Amino acid sequence: MKYTIRYKWWKILIYGFITTTQRCKGITSKTDRENYHYVLWDFDNTPLYNVKEQLEMICMKYNLIGAVIFSDKENSYRAFSETVVDYKTLLKIILETEYVDRMFFKWTVKRGYATIRISNKKNRPDNNIIAIVGRPSLEYVKEKLKFVEYDTDE
């Protein structure tokens, strides 16, 4: 449930929204090495074939081991790579990946690290791995990734 507010008072415009939130778990790009990050992506309103095509191209260009793609809604995908890069390269990779959600990039810059949701969101099916690009090691990833909790709108 989201309500948009738009109120004009003299020469002042007040604009925003009110929504309910829910607590989610996510993966953070942070590693044990300062200023180094796992590569994460968030795609909205994009068909799976476009996501896979972009990740294959980016993985080849930046020599990434691969990427794991998961989703809980059609045309909404999140992905991660176990490859570790410096922060500047992380931002460059995200910017060069077509179809990445621009708000994802904005929050990555604002926080200084990337985060993608892995927990279930209200009124959606379970989050599942749906595709793998390249040859990532899921066991390695499970041991090394850091998890965070944060609030998101429902």
The model's pLDDT over 40-59, given as tens digits with 9 standing for 90+, comes to 999 999 999 999 999 999 99
Whose structure tokens read 């796992």? 38
User: Residue 67: its pLDDT value, please?
Assistant: 93
pTM value?
0.79
* Chain segment 91-122, per-residue pLDDT in tens: 999 999 999 999 999 999 999 999 998 877 77
Strands in 87-145 per DSSP E = 115-117, 128-134
Question: Is residue 138 predicted with pLDDT exceeding 80?
Answer: no
Handedness of CA 82, 60, 105, 71 (dihedral sign): negative
